[in-house]
Amino acid sequence: MKKISRVAALVLLSVATLDASGYRIPEQSLNSTALSAAYVAGANGADASYYNPANMAFMGDGASLETALTYIRLTSISYTDTLPAAVGLNGDSKVENFIMPTFHYVSPKQGNLRYGLSVVAPGGLSKRWDEAYGKAYAQEFSLKIIELNPTISYMLHDKFAIGFGLRGVYTDGVVKSDNGAGASRDLSGDSIDFGYNMALSYKAMENVTLSTTYRSKIDLTVDGEATLAGGAYRGGAKVEVPLPAALTLAAAYTIDKTTVEFVFERTYWSSYKELDFNYDVDLRATALAPFDNPIIKNWKDVNAYRIGVTHQYSDTLKLMAGFAIDKNPIPDGYVGFELPDSDAKLYSLGFEYKLDKQMSLGLAYLYDDKESRSVTQRIDSADPKTGLSGTFEDASAHLVTASFKYKF
Among residues of the chain, what percentage have pLDDT more than 90? 56
Which CATH number is 258's domain given? 2.40.160.60
Do the domain assignments include residue 319? Answer: yes
Tell me the pLDDT band of 24, cut-offs 50, 70 and 90: low
Is the sign of the CA dihedral 48, 117, 305, 351 positive or negative?
negative
Contact 402, 69 (CB under 8 A): yes
Q: What is the residue type of 319?
A: L
Phi/psi for 72 (5° steps) reads: -120, 130
Tell me the pLDDT band of 240, cut-offs 50, 70 and 90: confident
Helix (H) or strand (E) holding 196: strand 184-205
pTM above 0.85, yes or no: yes
Contact 395, 340 (CB under 8 A): yes
The number of angstroms, rounded, from the C-alpha of 322 to the middle of its chain's C-alpha atoms is 18
Q: 394 CB contacts (<8 Å, ≥6 apart)?
A: 75, 76, 77, 78
Distance (Å, whole) CA 320 – CA 259: 10
Do the domain assignments include residue 289? Answer: yes
Q: 277-298, pLDDT tens digit by residue?
A: 888 888 888 888 877 888 888 9
Neighbour tally for 356: CB within 10 Å: 8
Do the domain assignments include residue 308? Answer: yes
Question: Structural domain of residue 132, as residue ranges?
Answer: 7-407
Q: What is the pLDDT of residue 239?
A: 82
Do the domain assignments include residue 235? Answer: yes
Which range has the worst mean pLDDT, 77-86, 119-128, 280-289?
A: 119-128
Give the residue from 33, 36, 8 showing the smallest Cα distance to 23: 8
Distance (Å, whole) CA 136 – CA 138: 6
Do the domain assignments include residue 113? Answer: yes
Q: What is the pLDDT of residue 8?
A: 36
Structural domain count of the chain: 1
Burial 381-397 (b: 16+ CB within 10 A, else e): eeebeeebbbbbbebeb
Q: 171-200, pLDDT tens digit by residue?
A: 887 777 666 565 666 778 889 999 999 999
Please measure the distance between the N-terminal and C-terminal CA atoms of the chain and give it in whole angstroms. 43
Do the domain assignments include residue 229? Answer: yes
Q: Is the pLDDT of residue 164 over 60?
A: yes
Tell me the pLDDT band of 99, cut-offs 50, 70 and 90: confident
Distance (Å, whole) CA 52 – CA 248: 10
Tell me the pLDDT band of 14, cut-offs 50, 70 and 90: very low
Q: What is the pLDDT of residue 286?
A: 86
Q: 319-370, pLDDT tens digit by residue?
A: 999 999 999 999 988 888 777 889 999 999 999 999 999 999 999 999 999 9
Do the domain assignments include residue 2? Answer: no
Distance (Å, whole) CA 160 – CA 158: 6
Which range has the worst mean pLDDT, 49-53, 80-84, 192-196?
A: 80-84
SS3 content of the chain, % helix, strand, coil (to 5): 10, 55, 35
Mean pLDDT of the chain, nearest integer: 87
Do the domain assignments include residue 1? Answer: no
